[in-house]
Structure 1
């Protein structure tokens, strides 16, 4: 997995946490960041699944 992608995921996570603490969990920015983080995590999971599937096919 690309290190830049993982940094983006972690940065988005941290921004969401800070937004939630400062502005509340129902704040529009917090919700937007939560959705963005969900998208990034889904992308990560799909990529990890693809890599695992390829590894199994190669062995």
Structure 2
């Protein structure tokens, strides 16, 4: 489980950086920014579910 959490944490950080980069170049309502935000939300939700299962 720890390995999965570490991998997920890295994926979250990568997704967060991608979203910030997209948002710095476009409107926060841009389709690509919203998609990146939705992906990040999903990753964060998965992370929290895994933490709570411990």
Unaligned runs of 5+ in 1: 52-59
Q: CA RMSD in A?
A: 1.0
Q: Does 1:23 align with 2:23?
A: no
Q: TM-score, normalised by structure 2?
A: 0.86
Number of corresponding residues? 51
In structure 2, the residue corresponding to 1:26 is in which secondary structure? coil
Q: Which has the higher contact order (CA 8 A, sep 6+)?
A: 2
Partner residue in 1 for 2:11: 8
CA distance in 2, matches of 1:16, 1:9: 10
Structure exhibiting the larger radius of gyration computed from Cα positions? 1
Question: C-alpha displacement at 1:12, in angstroms?
Answer: 0.3
